[in-house]
Structure 1
Amino acid sequence: MTLTRRSFTALALASFAMPAFAATEPRWYSDGGDLAAGGRDVVAYFGLKSGDGVKGSAAHSTTHKGITFHFANAENLATFQADPDKYAPRFGGYCAFAMSSGYFAPGDPDAWTVHDGSLYLNVSKTIRARWALRRSSHIASGDKNWMTHFPGER
């Protein structure tokens, strides 16, 4: 068997992913710290052009749909509280590329994209680049898969 770029990417993604829609999969991805986006300030992403996410602080935190969000300052906390679903990562912070393929995989808060007013995380910056090649179709597939598992959730 020849290992192509496509098959290597599929194998790499599968090594992080679990079968889609496992009964025990939580609504939000957390790396074990029970913090959304690894403690990054989800509002700050909307002002960034590139780079890694901005670390938030426990001094500026809130809980939304059962998970804690940290923010860099009180202004970003207030912005989030005014419209949390606008700023919370899509697909519960799981990898957007994996969700488009029907799997859950961790979302890396430093492999992010803001597109059409929504925040998406991917398992890595390499996967983010692949996801971006067909972003619109991946988002549509991800939406369909997400709604299958979490009806009524954004």
Structure 2
Amino acid sequence: MKKLLALLVLLISWPSWSADQIYTGYFSNKAVSGYDTVAYFTQGKPVKGDSKWKFEYQGADWYFSSQENLDKFKANPDDFAPQYGGYCAWAVAAKNDFASADPEQWAIVEGKLYLNYSADVKSLWDKDRAGFIEKADVNWPNLIK
């Protein structure tokens, strides 16, 4: 069974996974690991969403902590969705590549939500947010072709 699983993992190509515009992980369809993206803006902190307030957007399931937040997202999803599909913003900028993101490692810059892979990566990101955003904005369209 382990050999079969290893073979299956080898057969799954990185490009087929990396083409997803919204990061949901391998075994989930939850955007932002099920966190409520509106709460970052309204509560100033990461808040887990609930499946009773779920909305499909760009092929992923988005979870919210209240009907009010769900309604806000539905009205203007681009205002609340994280940049770069919820992938690590630093990786998109510095590595021109995809990396998962930890919803607990975040920043709002000029009204936009950015996520990072880890606290260490976020500390790198925080040293030059504007520069990394500029680079990521150039890299991102080519990554999701």
In the alignment, structure 1 segments of 5+ residues that lack a partner are 1-21
Aligned letter for 2:91? A
**Count of residue pairs brought into register by the alignment:** 128
TM-score, normalisation: structure 2 = 0.83
**In the aligned structure 2, how far is the partner of 1:115 from the partner of 1:80?**
18
2:37 corresponds to: 42
* Percentage of matched positions with identical amino acids: 35
Instruction: Please report the TM-score for the alignment, with normalisation by the length of structure 1.
Output: 0.79
Would the aligned equivalents of 2:107 and 2:113 in 1 still touch at CA under 8 Å?
yes
Instruction: Name segments (4+ residues, structure 1) moved above 4 Å.
Output: none
Aligned with residue 23 of structure 1, among 5, 15, 19: 15
User: Which residue, 115, 118, 121 being the options, matches 1:121?
Assistant: 115
- 3-state secondary structure, aligned to 2:15: coil
Which structure is higher in helix share?
A: 2
Deviations 1:34-63 (A, max 9, x none): 10000000000013445xx10001100101
Q: Distance in 2 between matches of 1:125 and 1:118?
A: 19
Local SS of the residue matching 1:111 = strand
Measured in 2, the distance between the counterparts of 1:129 and 1:23 equals 28
Does 2:91 match 1:98? yes
Q: CA RMSD in A?
A: 1.3
